[in-house]
């Protein structure tokens, strides 16, 4: 017998479904989906989690889920929620274990026809140079003092070491450095886990992918961003590795204990949190932002390693390669931002867990180079179909706190993906569609098989119809390194 839900899911329009406020909910829930993606959402407990988040103290607007939503720890992955600074809370479950898991996209001066014949050679070179997989360690090993510099400076630290250009920083969310980072709030255990993981890809759904721009949707914006059909790109998806995991784990444990003392009533213990005006919240922000800066530095270092491997493998010069960072965005973060709530400008704490910023043209937080268009929004899909470049639109600010989806969204658990792909050669299937993979881990390709994810094109259609972001270009993969 199907368990009766304590809420109803009501259709507002083609791409919006509401959980009306009822009982002890403080705000309604809002799920962006359509008839094609709704059945996937109804199969797991992600809508239940949207409902639960709506009960948290100080939440404003709505408890929101993007069309790539799926079940996560406490908050759904694909969830967005904003909290009043005086009455609200911060919850590590609303950020996630992989703090500042994010994605960056680099464009090159090469075309598909030039790279496709040598894709194996190139992917093999990247796989050999970049450590990946569970517990992978890199060639950068830092003492605590220098490690703390990484936590304070983020991507700028890598640039100062010669791994990138100053101009890169303008193309990273918040210039790749969150000033609220406080290394003193980071434990020795977290340091031990992270001290030699800079410049590593990690495991799970993290990847490094070479693709090409298959289709342009917005020629004006694409031209301003230097995007052309057939242009080869590099996408890097990773985060703060074991360091960020440890930070999240430690603060979750502390907040589980503090909930009772603060008198917080929660519908799910996984929503453990603390009031934003508490000393514990200040400590968490210091450590979370430090982990976010670690992730920014990590992606900057990986970009440098990719550039070097590419130049060596194909015997090309930097001038020929024309490696250019388009943008780098966070996926798992909580930030103090100014938004319009009930018609008034208000500072709130926005949790984005498996969601990304989609700030439109004219937003004051945008770097000058993207002020006239809105910033690039990078939406990776699975390794067999496609990824997208979008641009933020005003609708994201109007009702989603400047947010949109972050990817395709997982459809199958890792266990179920392995069960369904038993006896199949995923490597051969990918090669049959001109995608060359390298990976670590005996079951990685089966866990990450394309059908383990929603169709990213359907997800992107929903956010475009909802007015959150518009399609600029679609990228087709040619080769991938999986953790």
pLDDT band at 228 (very low <50, low <70, confident <90, very high): very high
**Cβ-proximal residues to 167 (8 Å cutoff; 6+ apart), any chain:** none
Position 35 pLDDT exceeds 90: yes
Which is more confidently placed, 203 or 463? Answer: 463
Percent of the chain residues topping a pLDDT of 70: 99
Q: How far apart are CA 332 and CA 351, in angstroms?
A: 8
* pTM of the shown model: 0.97
What mean pLDDT, rounded, does the chain reach?
A: 96
Concerning whether 406 is annotated as a catalytic residue, the answer is yes
pLDDT band at 483 (very low <50, low <70, confident <90, very high): confident
Q: How far apart are CA 292 and CA 100, in angstroms?
A: 5
Position 45 pLDDT exceeds 60: yes
Cα dist. 302→22, 142, 180, 227 in Å? 47, 16, 24, 22
Q: What is the CATH code for 102-251+270-336+356-482?
A: 3.90.1860.10
Q: How far apart are CA 354 and CA 23, in angstroms?
A: 27
**Cβ-proximal residues to 422 (8 Å cutoff; 6+ apart), any chain:** 446
Of 394, 391, 405, 250, the C-alpha closest to 326 is 391
Query: Position of tokens 């799910």?
Result: 268
**Cβ-proximal residues to 194 (8 Å cutoff; 6+ apart), any chain:** 147, 240, 241, 242, 243, 244, 246, 294
For range 355-378, the mean pLDDT: 97
Of 303, 298, 306, 98, the C-alpha closest to 199 is 298
- The pair of structure tokens assigned to 273 is 């949190």
pLDDT band at 14 (very low <50, low <70, confident <90, very high): very high
pLDDT at 2: 55
Query: Position of tokens 């967005």?
Result: 80
pLDDT in tens, 387-432: 999 999 999 999 999 999 999 999 999 999 999 999 999 999 999 9
Q: How far apart are CA 351 and CA 335, in angstroms?
A: 7
- Determine which one of 55, 261, 406, 415 is catalytic: 406
pLDDT band at 331 (very low <50, low <70, confident <90, very high): very high
pLDDT band at 442 (very low <50, low <70, confident <90, very high): confident
Report the SS3 class of residue 438.
strand
pLDDT in tens, 51-72: 999 999 999 999 999 999 999 9
Cα 106 to its chain centre, rounded Å, is 16
For range 139-162, the mean pLDDT: 95
- Would you kindly state where each structural domain of the chain is located, as residue ranges? 102-251+270-336+356-482
Contacts by 172-177, CB closer than 8 A, 24 or more apart? 172/104, 172/296, 172/300, 172/325, 172/327, 172/328, 173/102, 173/327, 173/328, 173/329, 173/330, 173/357, 173/375, 174/365, 175/367, 176/293, 176/296, 176/297, 176/300, 176/328, 177/152, 177/153, 177/293, 177/296
- The pair of structure tokens assigned to 283 is 């400590």
pLDDT in tens, 284-302: 999 999 999 999 999 999 9
CA dihedral (65, 66, 68, 74) positive or negative? negative
pLDDT band at 1 (very low <50, low <70, confident <90, very high): very low
- Residue 421 near residue 410, CB atoms below 8 Å: no
């Amino acid at each position: 017998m199907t368990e009766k839900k304590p809420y109803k899911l009501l259709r507002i329009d083609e791409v919006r479904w509401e959980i009306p406020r009822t009982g002890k909910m403080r705000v309604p829930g809002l799920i962006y989906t359509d008839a094609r993606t709704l059945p996937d959402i109804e199969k797991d407990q992600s809508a239940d989690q949207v409902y639960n988040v709506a009960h948290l103290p100080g939440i404003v607007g709505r408890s929101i889920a993007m069309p790539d939503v799926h079940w996560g720890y406490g908050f759904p992955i694909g969830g967005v929620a904003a909290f009043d600074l005086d009455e609200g809370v911060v919850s590590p479950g609303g950020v996630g274990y992989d703090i500042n898991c994010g994605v960056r996209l680099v464009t090159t001066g090469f075309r598909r026809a030039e790279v496709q014949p040598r894709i194996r050679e190139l992917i093999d070179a990247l796989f050999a140079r970049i450590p990946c997989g569970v517990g992978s360690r890199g060639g950068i090993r830092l003492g605590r003092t220098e490690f703390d510099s990484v936590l304070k400076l983020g991507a700028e630290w890598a640039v100062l070491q010669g791994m990138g250009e100053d101009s890169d920083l303008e193309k990273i969310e918040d210039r790749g450095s969150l000033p609220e980072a406080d290394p003193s709030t980071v434990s020795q255990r977290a340091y031990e886990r992270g001290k030699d993981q800079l410049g590593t890809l990690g495991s799970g759904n993290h990847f490094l992918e070479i693709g090409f721009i298959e289709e342009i949707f917005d020629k004006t914006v694409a031209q301003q961003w230097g995007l052309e059909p057939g242009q080869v790109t590099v996408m890097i998806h990773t985060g703060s590795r074991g360091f960020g995991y440890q930070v999240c784990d430690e603060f979750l444990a502390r907040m589980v204990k503090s909930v009772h003392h603060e008198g917080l009533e929660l519908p799910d213990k996984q929503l453990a949190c603390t009031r934003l005006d508490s000393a514990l919240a200040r400590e968490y922000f210091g450590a979370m932002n430090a982990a976010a800066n670690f992730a920014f530095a990590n992606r900057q270092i990986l970009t440098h390693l990719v550039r070097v491997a590419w130049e060596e493998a194909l015997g090309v010069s930097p001038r020929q390669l024309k490696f250019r960072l388009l943008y780098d965005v966070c996926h798992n973060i909580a930030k103090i931002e100014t938004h319009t709530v009930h018609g008034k400008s208000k500072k709130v704490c926005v949790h984005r867990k498996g969601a990304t910023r989609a700030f439109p043209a004219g937003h004051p937080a945008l770097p000058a180079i993207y002020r006239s268009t809105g910033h690039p929004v990078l939406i990776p899909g699975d390794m067999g179909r496609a990824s997208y470049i979008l641009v933020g639109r005003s609708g994201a600010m109007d009702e989603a706190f400047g947010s949109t989806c972050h990817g395709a969204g997982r459809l199958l658990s890792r266990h179920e993906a392995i069960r369904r792909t038993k006896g199949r050669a995923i490597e051969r299937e990918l090669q049959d569609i001109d995608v060359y993979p390298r990976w670590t881990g005996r079951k990685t390709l089966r866990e990450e098989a394309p059908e383990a994810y929603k169709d990213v094109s359907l997800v992107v259609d929903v956010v475009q119809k909802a007015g959150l972001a518009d399609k600029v270009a679609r990228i087709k993969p040619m080769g991938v390194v999986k953790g």
